[in-house]
Amino acid sequence: MIGLWLAWPRGLPQLDGAAAADSVPLSDLPARSPDDELYDTGGEVLEAASPPSKVAEVEPAAEVEPLTGTVYCMVKGGNMVEVVASALTPSNPEEGMVVPVVNEGFLLKVEAPRETRMLGFVGRLDDGSPITALMDVVWVGERGRCQGIIEPDLNRTVKLSGLVLGLLEGERAWLQSCLGFEELNGPDGRFELVGRAEEGTCRVQAFRLDGALRASSDVLRLPIDGDEEYYEIRLFLPEADIGGIGARVEAVEQGVYLPSLLDGGPAAEAGIRNGETITEVDGQSLAGLDINEAITRITGPVGSEATLTVLGEDGTVREVRIERDWIE
C-alpha cells in the first residue's frame, strides 16, 4: 500500500554548528496496532463451608513490536562523521521517530520500522559540510533503500513563495521542495521559504495524506543557477480525496508487482491475487516507471474506476476493472 516542512521534526536532536544552523527539512508518508485490552476476571462467591476461591490473575497482553528492517542510504561527496536519523511512518507522519543508524561514511544503515515511508537525516561530512536530507524509502521484504543519494548542502540561496490551491477542509498539507518540507498553515495554503540549495533543478510539489495514500500536485521544476527568487508560485492539489486499490507495491521491469493485498480491498475484491503484476493502467504502460510515478497512475479520486492489465504468475494476461477506494 501506499503511499513534509521547512521545520525539522519535533523531538529530533539538533547538532551544533553549521548542520543545525542550515537545517531546513522536515518532518509526507500510515499500520496502526490496536491498544491492548485488559480483561478482569472475578472469583466466584462460594458457600461458607467451601474453601475460598482465588481471583484469577491475567497478565496484560504484551505489546506487539512493529516489524523492523534495514534501510541502506548512500552519501555523496565525502565521509559522514556525524549523523542523526529519524523515521516518518503513517502513524507518525509529522514529528518523526529517532532510529538507530550505523555510520559507515559513504553508507548509512538505518534500523527502522518497515512501515517507514521517509527518513530524515541531520549530519556533517568530515570536511565540515552540513547535510540535511529527507529521503523517500522503498522496501523489498526486510530491506529498504533510500531513493536517491544524500548530498551536502551547497551555498545557493533560494527564496520560494506562492500559494497551494485545492486544500480540503480539515486536511493537513505540506510543501516539498529543494529547501525541505513545510506544513501549510491556514486555509489559503500560502508559503514563503528561504534556504540553501544545490545548483541544478529545484523540484516543488504540494501534497496531503488521504488515509494511507499521498495526494500530490504536479511537480514544478525551477532552475537554480545561482541565488534565485521565485514568487507567486501556484500549485494545485486534487479536489477529491485520493483512493487506491489496497495493495503493497514494488517496481519491477514489467510494471508494478503486488506482493500482498489488503483483505477486502478493491484489488482483492476484483479478483487480483498476491504475486501478480500490473503492467498497464487504462492502456498506459507502467514498465520502467519510478514507483511514485506508477502509484500516481494507479491511484485516483475515491470512487473512480480504472482498467488494470494484470500479468499472472503463470504468464497469463487479463484485464481487471477496479473501483478505487479510501485506504486506511
Cα dihedral 280, 284, 285, 290 sign: negative
Fold of 156-236: Immunoglobulin-like (2.60.40)
**Start and end residues for every CATH 2.60.40 domain found in the chain:** 18-31+67-146, 156-236
Q: What's the pLDDT tens digit per position in 118-158?
A: 998 888 878 777 788 889 999 998 999 999 888 876 567 89
CA 252, 220, 77 angle in degrees (round to 5)? 65
Query: Residue 95: which pLDDT band, with cuts at 50, 70 and 90?
Result: low
**pLDDT for the residue 186:** 65
For residue 22, what is its C-alpha cell? Answer: 542550515
CA 182, 186, 188 angle in degrees (round to 5)? 95
> Are the beta carbons of 83 and 108 closer than 8 angstroms?
yes
DSSP 279-311: EEETTEE-TT--HHHHHHHH-EETT-EEEEEEE
- Distance between first and last Cα of the chain: 9
Q: Which CATH number fits domain 18-31+67-146: 2.60.40, 2.70.40, 3.40.50, 1.10.150?
A: 2.60.40
CA 240, 241, 243 angle in degrees (round to 5)? 125
For residue 230, what is its C-alpha cell? Answer: 521565485
Highest mean pLDDT among 121-130, 221-230, 251-260: 251-260
Q: Provide the residue type at 289 as one letter.
A: L
**Start and end residues for every CATH 2.30.42.10 domain found in the chain:** 242-323
Q: What is the DSSP code (8-state) at residue 314?
A: T
Dihedral pair phi/psi, residue 291, rounded to 5°: -60, -35
Q: CA-to-CA distance for 187 and 170, rounded, in angstroms?
A: 9
Region 296-318: mean pLDDT is 94
**pLDDT for the residue 113:** 92
> Are the beta carbons of 228 and 156 closer than 8 angstroms?
yes
Q: CA-to-CA distance for 278 and 318, rounded, in angstroms?
A: 10
CATH superfamily placement of domain 242-323: PDZ domain (2.30.42.10)
**pLDDT for the residue 189:** 85
Asked whether the predicted pLDDT for residue 44 surpasses 50, the reply is no
